[in-house]
Amino acid sequence: MKNINTLGQLKASGYKTKSIKDELRENLREKIKTGKPVFEGVHGFENTVIPELERAILSRHNINLLGLRGQAKTRLARKMVELLDEYIPFVTGSEINDDPLNPISRFAKDLIAEKGNETPISWLHRDERFFEKLATPDVTVADLIGDVDPIKAANLKLSYADDRVIHFGMIPRANRCIFVINELPDLQARIQVALFNILQEGDIQIRGFKLRMPLDMQFIFTANPEDYTNRGSIVTPLKDRIGSQILTHYPETIAIARTITEQEAKLDQNQSDVVYVPSLAKDILEQISFEARDSEYIDNKSGVSARMSITAFENLISTAERRALIAGKEKTALRLSDFIGIIPAITGKVELVYEGEQEGADAVAQSLIGSAIRTLFTEIFPKIEKLEKPDEKTPYSDIVDWFFAESGFELLDDASDADYQEILDEVTPLNTLLKKYQPQLAKEDLYFMKEFVLWGLVEYKKLSKDRFAQGSQFRDIYGSYISKF
C-alpha cells in the first residue's frame, strides 16, 4: 500500500475507507479470536478493567477512564494505538489528515476537484495517530478547536469572512486519530461545552464559522473521582455524550504489584549485577504501598500511586549500590536497613491528612516501613501474642534473652558486608530460629532474614530500635527504659 502515491492508484487498489472506531473494533475482534494479548504490559486488570475496555471498543464508544493517580489510565490509552491499522492514506498537505476517499476540509476538496485521480496521497503510521492534552485551567477553545489566524489572512490576502483563514486547533488536527484529554474535570466548564457537538454531531464552530466537519475521532478522557468535587467537575451533558465510563484500580495483590514495579523501574544492568535483592525485600517494598493506602495518616481519597513503589525500588537499589561503592566492592546484598533510603520516595508521593502533618512526613514514612514488616512477619514466623504468661517460653525468648544479657549492638548504615555479617552472627539464637522455621532459606538471603527477625521483634515490642545519624541501635526493650533514667 505504501507504494500507492495517487488517488487513482488508491481507488484501483480496492482500498475501503473505515472509521477509526471500526478500525479499533475490527483489529480487536481479530486479536480476541486469535488469543493474542491486547493490552500487553498492563497487569492486574485482566478480569476487571480490560474486559470493560474491550466491550467499550467493540461498542464504538468514546471512553472515560476514572481512577486515582497511578492506575495506568494513560498507559491503557496509549496501548490502544496498537489496535489501529499500521498505515492509513491521507491527502498530502492536509492539516487534518483528510481521507482521500472522503475529504472533509476545503483544502482537500479543492485539491481533489483540481487534480482528480492525480491527487497526491501520503501514508500515516499508527504511532503518529495518538494525541494527548493535559487539561489545565488555561486551556482555551482556540487551543482545542481553532481560531481565525490574521497572519494567514494577510499572507493569502483573504478577508476574515473566508474560511481559509482558520487555524485548526488540536482536535481537528487529530482527525482520524486517538485523542486523549487527561484530567478532564480540570477543563473549564465553558471549554467542556465546546466539545459537545464534536462528540455527538461532528460540527465545529470557530469565530462565527459553522463548519460541518464530521471529524473521525476516538476520544479517551481520564479523570480522578475526587476531581468531581475538589478541583472541578465534568459537566452533565458531556458525561452523557461519553459512551463508557470505566473504573480503574490499584494492584490487588503483592505479586501483581511486584510485576509492575520490576517492569517499570529504570535500572541498568550494572545495578542489577551489583546488588542482590532478596524476594522478601520486594514483598516488603510493595506492602508499604498497601499499608499507605490504609493508613490513617494519609489521604486515601487522593490515592497512593503505583509510581511510589517504582521510585522507592530505584532508591532502594541505589542505597545498596552507594554503600558498595564506598566500600570499594563489586557486589553486595540488599539489607533491611537500606530501606531508610526510600523515605524520600515515600514523602514525595503521599498526601498527608492533618494527623499525618502533625506526625511529620519522615515519621509517617518510617511507620509505613514498620507496618509492612509487621504484616509480613507473621506470614513467615509464629505469631507473637499481645499477652503472654509470665516465664512462658516462646520461639523468640532466646533472642530477647541474648539482648538482655549482651545489651545490644549498633548496626551502621555503611558498614562493610563483613562487619554487617559479623554483628548479626553474634546473635546466635537467630540461627536456631531460622533453622526451625526457614529450613529451606537460600544462603544469600540469610542475613537479610536475620535482620528482618530483629525488625519484626521491634515492631512487636520485644526489642527496641533507636535511630541515630549513622545507623540504628538494637537493644533489649527493658534495658532501653532503664537507660533513660
Tens-digit pLDDT string for the chain (485 aa): 678 899 999 999 999 999 999 999 999 999 999 999 899 999 999 999 999 999 999 999 999 999 998 899 999 999 999 999 999 999 999 999 999 999 988 889 999 999 999 999 999 999 999 999 998 888 888 888 877 777 776 776 766 566 667 778 899 899 999 999 998 988 888 888 888 878 877 667 666 666 677 889 999 999 988 654 445 688 888 888 899 999 999 999 999 999 999 999 988 888 888 999 999 999 999 999 999 999 999 988 888 999 999 999 999 999 999 999 999 999 999 999 999 999 999 998 899 999 999 999 999 999 999 999 999 999 999 998 876 666 778 899 999 999 989 888 999 999 999 999 999 999 999 999 999 999 999 999 999 999 999 999 999 999 999 988 889 999 998 754 545 44
Cα separation, 81 vs 84, whole angstroms? 5
How many of the other CB atoms lie within 10 Å of CB of 279?
A: 11
User: What pLDDT does 234 receive?
Assistant: 86
* Residue 103, phi then psi, degrees to nearest 5: -70, 145
For residue 323, what is its C-alpha cell? 554503600
Cα torsion through 422, 427, 433, 439, rounded to 10: 10
Query: Do 332 and 417 contact (CB within 8 A), yes or no?
Result: yes
Residue carrying C-alpha cell 498537505: 93
Cβ-Cβ contacts under 8 Å for 430 (sequence gap 6 or more): 399, 424, 450, 453, 454
Any idea what DSSP says for residue 396?
T
User: What pLDDT does 457 receive?
Assistant: 95
User: What pLDDT does 189 receive?
Assistant: 86
User: What pLDDT does 229 receive?
Assistant: 44
The pTM of the full predicted model, rounded to 2 decimals, is 0.86
